């Protein structure tokens, strides 16, 4: 009999189908059932507003990230040394809602469905954790916080983005909701306050006027080079203490050495631990009210390394959100 030599087999991994083998729910359940026990809800969002010339090139990412997590599905309660305990501590209910339906030719309907899923999760008092999809996904996700911000009276949410690119184009070939416009569209929302954009480097789609528009809006930029030169502690000191923060990670913000699965690899990106430290810096100072990971391209991946990195970043964010849910008073907010 042939042996399958992987860690999942060694640890007796379950035959998982969801992220980390978490309980499966569906978005429809959210409207029908009492979700109050749910703390964290995974939402797969394969496609929102693809540019027609490239299509929905990240649509396979949510399932590829889930698949990477299956190896660890039996060790979700094991010691995770990056978190100082189990990834999902006892008493925390984290569920996977599956993927939002999509059609590449119906971007507005895609955005409506993604926004509605996040609104439902937030209305139930749970925290959305979204697996994209390309970088057009965060636009409807961040829009979904309008009612949340109005209801909590905690003030506008802070956005912390990790990305090689600034995503401040007003439009690209007439499309205003695509992946190069994500941060400009977010900046226009009344419920979005301060914005931190970390990891920019090289040349992307932004023109000098786009970078200036972001500065005029008050965006705090930290280039990848500055992260390497000054470390994450220097960035952390600028982050607001208190309030609510949404973290969005475009995986091309990380170095291609740990994240080869991107459409435009760019040398000089963040290390895995720099990204982890940024998540930690946010969670140490404010309430982490949502997280997404976008732009992973399974077709470009090497030995599953990028899927593993995307999964582990997501698992770390879940671990930090879970700890805030267990001990809300320890959060600065
Ligand atoms: Mn981006």
- For residue range 85-144, what is the model confidence (pLDDT) as tens digits? 999 999 999 999 999 999 999 999 999 999 999 999 999 899 999 999 999 999 999 999
Cis peptide before 133 (omega within 30 of 0): yes
Instruction: Using alpha carbons only, give the angle 94, 95, 97 rounded to the nearest 5 degrees.
Output: 150
Domain for residue 28, yes or no? Answer: yes
| 165 Cα: distance to centroid of ligand 1 (angstroms) | 5
* 262 occurs within a structural domain: yes
Total number of domains constituting the chain: 1
The strand pairing partners of 294, in sequence order, are 250
Instruction: Give me the residues paired with residue 248 across strands.
Output: 161, 292
What is the tens place of the pLDDT at every residue in 211-249? 999 999 999 999 999 999 999 998 999 999 999 999 999
- The parent domain of residue 11 ranges over 7-330
Cα–Cα distance measured from residue 120 to residue 113, given in angstroms and rounded to the nearest whole number: 11
**Can you give the pLDDT at residue 55?**
97
- DSSP code per residue over 237-261: TTSPSSSEEEEEEEGGGB-TTT---
- Which is higher by pLDDT, 321 or 10? 321
**Position 216 in a domain:** yes
178 C-beta neighbours (distance < 10 Å), count: 26
Torsion angles phi and psi, residue 290, rounded to 5: 175, 160
- Compute the mean pLDDT over every residue in the chain, rounded to the nearest whole number: 92
Distance CA 37, CA 129 (A): 16
Residue 2 lies in a domain: no
User: Is 50 exceeded by the pLDDT of residue 333?
Assistant: no
Whether 120 is covered by a domain: the verdict is: yes
Kindly indicate the confidence band of residue 4, based on its pLDDT and cuts at 50, 70 and 90: low
- What are 187-218's pLDDT values in tens digits? 999 999 999 999 999 988 889 999 999 999 99
pLDDT surpasses 60 at 285: yes
Q: 3-class SS at 97?
A: strand
Closest CA to 246 of 318, 160, 181, 169: 160
Q: How remote is the CA of residue 269 from the centroid of ligand 1, in Å?
A: 13
Ligand 1 midpoint to CA 46 (Å)? 15
In a domain, 100, yes or no: yes
As residues whose CB is below 5 A from the ion ligand 1, the structure lists 135, 163, 165, 167, 250
What is the domain-level CATH number for residue 91? 3.40.800.10
Reduced to 3 states (helix: H, G, I; strand: E, B; else coil), residue 220 is strand
Note whether residue 1 is domain-resident. Answer: no
81 assigned to some structural domain: yes
Picking from 93, 97, 146, the residue whose alpha carbon sits closest to that of residue 122 is 146
Higher pLDDT, 33 or 175: 175
Model confidence band, residue 332 (pLDDT cutoffs 50, 70, 90): very low
Rounded distance from Cα 250 to ligand 1 centre (Å): 5
Number of other residues whose CB lies within 10 A of the CB of residue 64: 21
Inform me whether the pLDDT recorded for 330 exceeds 50.
Answer: no
- Region of residue 231 (phi > 0: left; psi between -120 and 50: alpha; otherwise: beta): left
Q: In the numeric block, which tokens belong to residue 184?
A: 């400009």
Q: How far is CA 270 from CA 109, 145, 281, 295, 321, in A?
A: 34, 28, 15, 15, 22
CA of residue 307 to ligand 1 center, whole Å:
17
Dihedral over alpha carbons 40, 43, 49, 51 (to 10 degrees) = 110
What is the Å distance from ligand 1's center to 131 Cα?
14
- Locate 2 and state its tokens: 């042939």
C-alpha triplet 251, 226, 271: angle, nearest 5°: 35
Distance (angstroms) between ligand 1 centre and the Cα of 135 equals 5
């Amino acid at each position: 009999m042939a042996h399958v030599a992987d860690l999942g087999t060694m640890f007796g991994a379950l035959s998982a189908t969801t992220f980390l083998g978490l309980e499966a729910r569906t978005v429809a359940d959210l409207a029908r059932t009492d979700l109050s026990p749910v703390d964290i809800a995974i939402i797969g969002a394969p496609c929102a507003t693809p540019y027609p010339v490239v299509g929905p090139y990240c649509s396979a990412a949510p399932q590829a990230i889930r698949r990477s997590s299956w190896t660890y599905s039996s060790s979700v309660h094991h010691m995770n040394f990056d978190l100082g305990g189990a990834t999902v501590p006892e008493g925390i209910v984290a569920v996977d809602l599956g993927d939002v339906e999509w059609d590449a030719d119906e971007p507005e309907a895609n955005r409506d469905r993604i926004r509605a899923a996040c609104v439902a999760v937030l209305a139930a008092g749970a925290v959305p954790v979204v697996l994209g999809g390309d970088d057009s996904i965060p636009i409807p996700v961040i829009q979904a916080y309008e009612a949340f911000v109005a209801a909590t009276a905690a003030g506008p949410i802070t956005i912390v983005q990790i990305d090689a690119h600034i995503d401040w184009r007003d439009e690209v070939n007439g499309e205003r909701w695509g992946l190069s416009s994500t941060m400009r569209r977010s900046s226009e929302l009344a419920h979005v306050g301060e914005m931190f954009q970390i990891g920019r480097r090289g040349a992307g789609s932004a023109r000098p006027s786009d970078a200036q528009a972001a500065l005029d809006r008050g965006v705090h930029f930290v280039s990848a080079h500055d992260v390497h030169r000054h470390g994450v502690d220097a960035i952390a000191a600028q982050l607001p203490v208190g309030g609510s923060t949404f973290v969005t990670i475009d995986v091309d913000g990380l170095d291609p050495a740990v994240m080869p699965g991107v459409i435009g690899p760019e040398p000089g990106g963040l290390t895995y631990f720099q990204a982890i430290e940024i998540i930690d810096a946010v969670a140490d100072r404010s309430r982490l009210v949502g997280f997404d990971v976008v732009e992973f391209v399974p077709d470009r991946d090497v030995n599953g390394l990028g899927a593993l990195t995307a999964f582990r970043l997501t698992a770390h964010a879940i671990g930090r959100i879970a700890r805030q849910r267990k001990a809300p008073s320890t959060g600065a907010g």
